Chains A and B, each alone.
Chain A
Amino acid sequence: MSDFPDPDEEYELMYSDELELMKENEDKTDSNPIKQKSLPAKRSLDFSSHISKNTNHHENIESNKKDEDINLTPSLQNMEDVLAQTNVPSKRTAEDLFGDINDIDFDNLELPSKRQKTDEENDFELINKILEGRRLKQLLTEPASGGNINTKANFDVKDNISINIPKWPFMPLTNSDGDRIYIRLESEDNWNKSLEMDTEQLSLRATYSSAWEEAQKICRYSSSCGWMFVTRWPFMPLTNSDGDRIYIRLESEDNWNKSLEMDTEQLSLRATYSSAWEEAQKILEKKEQQTLKEDNTQPIIDTAENTSLWVEKYRPSSYIDLLSEEPVNRALLHWLHLWDKVVFKKEVKTKDPQQRTTFSKRAGQFQLTNKWKGKKESEPELDDDGRPHHKVALLCGPPGVGKTTLAHLLARLAGYRPVELNASDDRSTEAFRSALVSATSMRSVMDVDRRPNCLILDEIDGAPTQTVELLVKWCTTTVAEGAKRKAKTQPLRRPVIAICNDLYATSLRPLRAVALTVTVGSVSCARLASRLAVVASYERLRVETKVLSALATRAAGDIRTALHVLNFLRAKTKLTISDIENVAIGTKDTSKSIMQALQAVFTLDNTKPEAFHRIIQAAGEYDRLVDGIFENYTTARVDTRLHIASETMSSLGFYDTVQAWTMRCQNYSLYGTLPLCIARCHRLLATRTYHKLKFPMQAQEMYRKKAELDSILVSVWRGSGPHVVTNRDALKLDVLPLLPYLLTPTLRSANIQLCSESERSTVRTCAGALCDYGLRYVQQRASDGLYTYQLEPDVYKIAFMGTEERIRPQPVIRQAIAREQQLEIIRRNEEMAARVNPRKSNENIKKMEEKVANVAEKETRLPNHLQRLKPKTIEKRTPQVSKYYLYLYHKTEEFVLIC
Chain B
Amino acid sequence: MSLWVDKHRPKDLMKLDYHKDQASRLKNLVQQSDFPHLLVYGPSGAGKKTRIMCLLRELYGSGAERLRQETMHFTTPSNKKIEIMTVSSNYHIEVNPTDVGIHDRVVIMDLVKNVAQTHQIDSSGQREFKVVILNEVDDLTKDAQHALRRTMEKYVATCRLILIANSISRVIPAIRSRCLTIRVPAPTENEIVSVLHSVCKKEGLNLPSELALRIAKASDRNLRRALLMCEACKVQKYPFTPDQKVPEPDWQQYIRETASMILTEQSPKKLGEVRQKLYELIIHGIPPDMIFSGLLCELVRNCDISMKCQIASYAAEYEHRMRLGNKPIFHLEAFVAKSMAIYKKYVEESLGDAF
Chain A interfacial residues counted at CB < 8 A: 72
Pick from B49, B232, B337: contact of A738, CB below 8 A: B232
Cβ A642 vs Cβ B326 within 8 A: no
- Counting CB contacts under 8 A, is A537 at the interface? no
Cβ B266 vs Cβ A657 within 8 A: no
Of B27-35, B150-158, B247-255, the one touching chain A: B247-255
Determine the chain A residues whose CB is within 8 A of the CB of B200 once the complex forms. Answer: none
Cβ B321 vs Cβ A653 within 8 A: yes
- Counting CB contacts under 8 A, is B340 at the interface? yes
Interface string of A224-244 (1 = CB under 8 A from B): 000000000000000000000
Given the contacts A659-B325, A742-B235, A746-B236, A646 and B224 also touching, CB distance less than 8 Å:
no
Q: What is the bound-complex CA distance between A831 and B329, given in angstroms?
A: 49
Cβ B224 vs Cβ A641 within 8 A: no
Pick from B2, B282, B287, B338: contact of A646, CB below 8 A: B338
Pick from A656, A738, A768: contact of B331, CB below 8 A: A656
- Chain A residues 727-759 with CB under 8 Å of chain B are 727-730, 732-735, 737-739, 741-742, 744-746, 758
- Counting CB contacts under 8 A, is A261 at the interface? no
Cβ A742 vs Cβ B3 within 8 A: yes
Cβ B2 vs Cβ A738 within 8 A: no
Given the contacts A642-B271, A706-B283, A729-B287, A735 and B1 also touching, CB distance less than 8 Å:
no
Q: What is the bound-complex CA distance between A824 and B251, given in angstroms?
A: 31
- Counting CB contacts under 8 A, is A660 at the interface? yes
- Chain A residues 800-850 with CB under 8 Å of chain B are 800-803, 824
Determine the chain B residues whose CB is within 8 A of the CB of A723 once the complex forms. Answer: 6, 65, 67
Interface string of B57-91 (1 = CB under 8 A from A): 00000000101110000000000000001010000
Determine the chain A residues whose CB is within 8 A of the CB of B232 once the complex forms. Answer: 738, 741-742
- Counting CB contacts under 8 A, is A722 at the interface? yes
Cβ B235 vs Cβ A741 within 8 A: yes
What residue of chain A has the Cβ atom nearest to residue B70's Cβ? A722
Pick from B271, B286, B321: contact of A657, CB below 8 A: B321
- Chain A residues 750-782 with CB under 8 Å of chain B are 758, 761-762, 764-765, 767-769, 771-772
Minimum distance in angstroms from B59 CB to a CB of chain A? 18
Of A252-260, A476-484, A605-613, A632-640, the one touching chain B: A632-640
Q: What is the bound-complex CA distance between A640 and B284, given in angstroms?
A: 31
Cβ B235 vs Cβ A744 within 8 A: yes
- Chain B residues 1-40 with CB under 8 Å of chain A are 1-3, 5-6
Cβ A764 vs Cβ B1 within 8 A: yes
Cβ B69 vs Cβ A643 within 8 A: no
Q: What is the bound-complex CA distance between A726 and B280, given in angstroms?
A: 24
Cβ A642 vs Cβ B285 within 8 A: no
Determine the chain A residues whose CB is within 8 A of the CB of B318 once the complex forms. Answer: 653
How many interface residues does chain B have, given as a range? 35 or more
- Counting CB contacts under 8 A, is B344 at the interface? yes
Cβ B249 vs Cβ A642 within 8 A: no
Determine the chain A residues whose CB is within 8 A of the CB of B145 once the complex forms. Answer: none
Q: Which of A643, A661, A721, A741 has the most CB of B within 10 A?
A: A741
Pick from A661, A733, A769: contact of B286, CB below 8 A: A733
Pick from A698, A734, A765: contact of B249, CB below 8 A: A734
What residue of chain B has the Cβ atom nearest to residue A835's Cβ? B66
- Counting CB contacts under 8 A, is A630 at the interface? yes
Cβ B1 vs Cβ A635 within 8 A: no
Complex A-B: 23 CB contacts under 8 Å: A630-B329, A634-B268, A640-B267, A645-B268, A646-B337, A649-B338, A660-B325, A663-B326, A706-B282, A706-B283, A721-B69, A723-B6, A723-B67, A729-B44, A729-B287, A730-B44, A732-B284, A738-B228, A744-B236, A765-B2, A765-B3, A768-B1, A768-B3
* Interface contacts beyond A732-B284, A737-B251: sample of 9 additional A-B pairs, CB < 8 Å, sorted by A: A642-B266, A649-B338, A702-B279, A702-B329, A734-B228, A741-B232, A742-B235, A768-B2, A824-B1
Closest 6 pairs between A and B when the two form their complex, measured CB to CB: A737-B249, A768-B1, A649-B334, A741-B232, A656-B325, A722-B67
